[in-house]
Structure 1
Amino acid sequence: MKAIVYDKAGLPIDDPKSLYDADVPRPEPGPRDLLVAIDAIAVNPVDVKLRHAVQPQAPRILGWDGAGTVEAVGSDVTLFRPGDKVWFAGDITRPGSYAEYTLVDERIAGHAPASLSSAEAAALPLTSITAWELLFDRLRIPENGGEGESLLVIGAGGGVGSILLQLASRLTRLAVIGTASRPETQAWISDLGATHVVDHSQPLQPQLAQAGFPLVDHVISLTHTDQYYTQIVDLLKPQGQFALIDDPATLDAMPLKRKSISLHHEFMFTRSMYRAPDMVKQHELLERVAGLIDAGTLKSTLGENLGHINAANLRRAHALLQGHRAKGKLVLSGF
């Protein structure tokens, strides 16, 4: 089958060997696996990080966001059958979705929204799981809760921010504040549900105070946390909550002590990496999000479709992510 792989970490993305086309054997499903024929994929920052930092022992297939059709199922599968349209964010410990076929455990896949194309659907699984777990598992904000409280989302215009704003504005009563620096991204996050927009290239606290939020209850940082950390501590209320998804080189938790601020990390691959007993919650979550999309409550965060799934287009997608020039999600579809 066709696949796009890398075999040497850290190559510049303009090097043709940084990601290249290959022919590899089609995988065979294990007992709980779905064999999925890929229709569309999305590209995420984790793909870029792994290509830079992790040297594989053999050519590795990256990419975990995907949408497609179940071709075959393992002997113990009960949630799906061949022919089902599915979407998933995959398991970082297994080969990814930059291929014609991939395997995914049924407990972390969902039935794709009927109202979306495969490209529109592929934009959502990884970011939806991340955003959902941030809000409802890590910060434990109840659905329809948060009345009178405020949430600041730093870096709100990217993939996770684009669905997080929708979830927070539609499923909670939080006042939702997003940060973005470019006019087009500011308009994007306002349309997605941010009730207030501030420019993260300027000091945050004066802008927040002017908007009526001298301090905020919750902060979710999606990018460049190390650059904003001092400001985050200053603008959080005593006993506030701080969550992040990126990887600062260091994060000194001591400044949080004086205000009793709680710290929460989110990594959506945790459940599948450790085969957590509640692994099936990601299936349930994707089923719920699909229902919200088909009901018109949420919409796809597809930013740009870069064309067919091949090495040249994937190198282009990686370059856009590295340059922080993406709005919403970058998607590729078809071979």
Structure 2
Amino acid sequence: MRAIGYETAGPVDAPQALTLIDVPRPQIGPRDLLVEVRGISVNPVDVKLRAGVTPEGGPRILGFDAAGVVVETGAEVSGYAVGDEVFYAGDLTRPGSNAQFQAVDERIVGRKPASLDFTEAAGLPLTSITAWEMLFDSFRIAEGSGAGDSLLVIGGAGGVGSILIQLAKRLTGLTVIATASRPQTRDWVTKMGADHVIDHRQSMPQQLAELGLEPRYVAALTGTEGHFAAILELIAPRGHIALIDDPATLDILAAKVKALTVSWEFMFTRSMFAMADISAQRNLLDRVSAMIDAGQLISTVTERAGPLDVEHLRAAHARQESGRVIGKQVLDGFAPTRS
């Protein structure tokens, strides 16, 4: 089958950064689905791996979002059948979705929203899982609760922020403050449902004080190292900071005086460690799918970047590296092979 992979870590414009490869069609395990990939998206994790991690044992196929059609099921699969339309974010330890076919554990797969095409649907899984787990696993907020408290989303216009704002507004009583620094991003987070918008390039504690808000929860999605002193100043005592980025250093000792909780959200943990509750990801994706179809959530896709080929995937990686992507960028699957 056709796939796009990389062998040596480096910049996106290097000759071998992303190349078309021919690899065997995946063999599936007893709990696996074999999915014909019809749509994918590009996430920061794709860029981080391609730029900084040289794979061992040959080319690595990236891609951590997909939507497609089930073409084969493992012997122990009970929730899906051939022909089902699905979407998922995959497993960091297995070959990714930049391919014609992908093997994926059924327990981390949801049913594709019927109201979205495959490409649009591919923009949702990774960010939805990350946002959902941050809200309900990290912050431990119960659905329907949170009235009187507030959530600050730093980097609200990115992929995770875009769906996190929506989930918090739909499923909790939290007041949501999003950060954005450009007119386009301010408009976007307002569209996503943010109650207030502040500029993370200006004094966040001052802006929040002017709003009369002291967030109990902070979702630090980008630039955490540079923002950390401000976060410690603005957050409420006994508050909770959850982050997803990779600060080179983070001295959390200063969080002691406010008795703060600091935690990471990493959506691949359940699949990497085969946790007992791994199927929680299937369940939450099904919830997100139903909410999309009911009009309770809206798509976060802002860019359809063309068909899956080396040229378009390189361009999507370059856009992701710019740090200026609003919402999500998606690509169609491989064009059908001509006979």
TM range (shorter): over 0.9
Aligned residue in 2 for 1:92: 92
**C-alpha offsets along residues 289-316 of structure 1, whole Å, 9 cap, x if unaligned?**
1111111101111110100001111111
Partner-residue secondary structure (3-state), 2:187? helix
SS across alignment from 2:231: helix
CA distance in 1, matches of 2:175, 2:282: 29
Output one character per residue of 1:143-170: Cα deviation in whole Å (capped at 9) or x when no partner.
Answer: 1110100110000100000000000111
Task: Give the C-alpha shift of residue 252 in structure 1.
Answer: 1.2
1:118-267 alignment, distance < 5 Å: 118-213=118-213, 215-267=214-266
Q: Which residue of 2 aligns with 1:104?
A: 104
For the Cα contact (< 8 Å) 2:135–2:141, is it kept in 1? yes
Say if 2:308 is the partner of 1:309: yes
- Read off the aligned partner of 2:100 and give its amino acid letter: E
Deviation at 1:16, TM superposition (A): 3.0
Deviation of residue 212 (structure 1)?
Answer: 2.3
The 10-residue stretch of structure 1 (123-132 or 316-325) with the greater mean CA deviation from structure 2 = 316-325
Q: Which moved more, 1:187-196 or 1:197-206?
A: 197-206
Separation (CA, whole Å) in 2 of partners of 1:196 and 1:16: 44
SS at match of 1:86: strand
- Asked if 1 retains the 8 angstrom alpha-carbon contact of 2:12 and 2:51, the reply is no
Cα distance per residue 1:71-110 (max 9 Å; x no partner): 1011110010000000000000000000010010000001
Report the CA distance between 1:12 and its aligned residue: 1.4
Give the distance between the partners of 1:202 and 1:23, measured in 2 at CA. 49
Give every structure 1 segment of 4 or more consecutive aligned residues whose post-TM-superposition deviation is greater than 6 Å: none
Aligned residue for 1:297? 296
Code of the residue aligned with 1:200 in structure 2: it is: H
SS at match of 1:239: coil
Amino acid corresponding to residue 100 of structure 1 in structure 2: Q
- Alignment partner, residue 79 of structure 1: 79
- What letter matches 2:239 in structure 1? G
Task: Give ranges in structure 2 of 5+ residues lacking alignment.
Answer: 335-339
TM-score (norm 2): 0.97
Amino acid at match of 2:271: S
Q: Give the CA deviation at 1:137.
A: 0.7
In structure 2, the partner of 1:51 is 50
| Cα distance in structure 2, aligned partners of 1:183 and 1:73 | 47
Q: Please report the RMSD computed on the Cα atoms of aligned residues, expressed in angstroms.
A: 0.8
**CA distance, structure 2, for counterparts of residue 160 and residue 82 of structure 1:** 31
Q: Does 1:278 align with 2:299?
A: no
1:90-145 deviation line (CA, Å, top 9, x unaligned): 00000000001001000000110111111111000000000000001110111111
Question: Aligned to 1:40, what secondary structure does the other structure show?
Answer: strand
What is the deviation of 1:24?
1.2
CA-CA distance at 1:25 after TM superposition:
1.1
Alignment-mate amino acid for residue 95 of structure 1:
P
* SS of corresponding position for 1:216: coil
SS in 1 for 2:240: strand
User: Once the two structures are aligned, what percentage of the paired residues are identical?
Assistant: 55
Question: 1:2 offset after TM fit, Å?
Answer: 1.0
- Paired with 1:217 and 1:30, the residues of 2 have a C-alpha distance of 43
Matched position secondary structure for 2:70: strand
Aligned residue pairs total 333
- Residue of structure 1 in register with 2:34 after alignment: 35
SS in 1 for 2:237: strand
Q: In structure 2, what is the Cα distance between the partners aligned to 1:96 and 1:225?
A: 28
| Contact 2:239/2:259, CA 8 A, preserved across alignment | yes
